[in-house]
């Protein structure tokens, strides 16, 4: 698996019990959805190891998993803090007009009147809607370093072009 096609699904938390189980922090929308994407590779520092998950259970509000071949607490401890990676190709294709956050990060953002607002540096989930975090250009005439733009189709987001890596928004540059 080369670095370009890996995505982070979550992180390994603490060990659980004495038989080598691990607590998992899932970054997927629904916690258990992390179990839909295999195989997993665990990355800690520069070391990446593909693992086989042989069992899993719900635990409190999270998950615990059993890694094949890891049968005690000390062996499992070596994985604590690892990022859980999978191949980008294991993600399902989205319906037309829907995008993964990772697809939007790095895109330029321009207004419907042609003003260049900057580049999407991050995304935030607010509960009501997702928000684009747009890092402004150095020569921004409005002295903005960053803008938070709600990701609301038809209200704010006019169009998204994957090909041109550009998001067009109906947004006042003064905000």
In tens, the pLDDT along 132-162 reads 999 998 777 777 789 999 999 889 999 999 8
Integer Cα distance of 27 and 80 in angstroms: 16
Q: Does 106 lie in the same domain as 76?
A: no
Q: Does 122 lie in the same domain as 49?
A: no
In tens, the pLDDT along 8-49 reads 899 999 999 999 999 999 988 789 999 999 899 999 999 999
Structural element, H or E, at residue 77: helix 73-77
User: Is 81 part of any domain?
Assistant: yes
Q: Are 166 and 134 in contact (CB under 8 A)?
A: no
Number of domains within the chain:
2
Name which of 81, 20, 28, 77 is nearest 52 in CA terms. Answer: 20
Range of the domain at 149: 101-169
User: Is 111 part of any domain?
Assistant: yes
Q: Residue 175 pLDDT more than 70?
A: yes
pTM: 0.65
In tens, the pLDDT along 74-118 reads 999 999 999 999 998 888 888 887 888 888 999 999 999 999 999
Q: Does 67 lie in the same domain as 130?
A: no
């Amino acid at each position: 698996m080369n670095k370009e096609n890996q995505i982070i699904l979550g992180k390994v938390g603490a060990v659980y019990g004495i038989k080598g189980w691990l607590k998992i922090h899932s970054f997927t929308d629904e916690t258990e959805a992390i179990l839909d994407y295999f195989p997993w590779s665990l990355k800690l520092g520069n070391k990446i190891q593909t693992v086989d998950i042989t069992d899993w259970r719900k635990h409190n509000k999270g998950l615990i998993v059993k890694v094949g071949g890891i049968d005690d607490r000390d062996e499992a401890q070596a994985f604590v803090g690892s990022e859980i990676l999978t191949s980008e190709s294991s993600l399902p294709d989205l319906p037309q007009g829907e995008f993964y956050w990772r697809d939007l990060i790095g895109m330029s953002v321009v207004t419907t009147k042609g003003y260049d607002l900057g580049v999407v540096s991050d995304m935030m989930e607010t509960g009501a809607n997702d928000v684009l975090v747009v890092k402004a250009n150095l020569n921004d005439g409005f002295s903005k370093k960053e803008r938070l733009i709600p990701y609301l189709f038809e209200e704010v987001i006019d169009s998204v072009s994957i090909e041109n890596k550009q998001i067009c928004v109906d947004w006042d540059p003064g905000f």
